[in-house]
Amino acid sequence: MPIEIPEVVIERLPVYARALADLEAQGREVVSSQELGEKLGVTPAQIRKDLSYFGRFGKQGRGYNVRRLSEHLRHILGLDRTWDMVLIGVGPLGQAILHYGGFAPQGFRVVEAFDASPAVIGRTIGGIVVRDVRDLKQRLAERKVDIGIVAVPAAVAQEVIDTLVECGIKAILNYAPIAAQVPPGVHIRRVDPVLELQSMTYYLKSQDGAAK
């Protein structure tokens, strides 16, 4: 029976992978769990425990081979291949996503974009021709896509997500401010900057109160 890996561990792996990529770019060959922990604000014991779910990567007293561990983590995370993505919603946020240059170097490629507005349908934005969202099902039946990005208004977000699920999409990044429902086996992540800001204002308010 396979070991069940806690979600919080999986969420930390990309952070480790990014730190190792930075170290590799600096020409570093070896890094200790102590140094890696200090760099990321994680205890060395936590790093060793997280990595132990996937095998033995370092030797006590000698640290980790940066290149080798980086390659292992990229393989574990599936970052050693290219993932094709479809974007639904090409308003200001969607257009920013299409123009963003940080996806491709990490193996993520937006290959299709859809919207309901005649103002953007047919336009080429970020090298992608925006299609009518009414053609979404047919297009996804013709072309395999791995990940869906939802950047539509909240009122239609669940409907769009349901359509993506119906088309076989198993991973969805949702920018709409809703608690979307998906069936088992479909992985969804919500990106809501407003919620993050609201959690930070709690600390700001607490600090203001303590200062008075």
pLDDT number for residue 9: 93
Domain spanning 7-76 has what CATH number? 1.10.10.10
Whether the per-residue pLDDT at 211 is higher than 60: the answer is no
pLDDT number for residue 1: 47
- Note the pLDDT tens digit of each residue in 118-162: 999 999 999 999 999 999 999 999 999 999 999 999 999 999 999
Phi-psi domain of 22 (left: phi exceeds 0; alpha: psi -120 through 50; beta: other): alpha
- Note the pLDDT tens digit of each residue in 11-47: 999 999 999 999 999 999 999 999 999 999 999 999 9
pLDDT number for residue 57: 79
Amino acid at 5: I
Whether the per-residue pLDDT at 212 is higher than 60: the answer is no
Whether the per-residue pLDDT at 205 is higher than 90: the answer is no
Whether the per-residue pLDDT at 112 is higher than 80: the answer is yes
- Whether residue 189 contacts residue 174, with contact meaning beta carbons closer than 8 Å, is answered with yes
- Show contacts of 171-178: CB within 8 Å, 24+ apart: 171/146, 171/147, 172/147, 172/148, 173/147, 173/148, 173/149, 174/150, 175/89, 175/93, 175/149, 175/150, 175/151, 176/150, 176/151, 176/152, 178/154
Whether the per-residue pLDDT at 73 is higher than 90: the answer is yes
pLDDT number for residue 60: 66
pLDDT number for residue 19: 95
User: What mean pLDDT do residues 100-128 have?
Assistant: 95
- Domain locations in the chain as residue ranges: 7-76, 83-194
Domain spanning 83-194 has what CATH number? 3.40.50.720
Rounded-to-integer distance, Cα 130 and Cα 148, Å: 15
**What is the model's pTM?**
0.88
- Note the pLDDT tens digit of each residue in 159-189: 999 999 999 999 999 999 999 999 999 999 9
User: What mean pLDDT do residues 98-112 have?
Assistant: 94
- Note the pLDDT tens digit of each residue in 89-100: 999 999 999 999
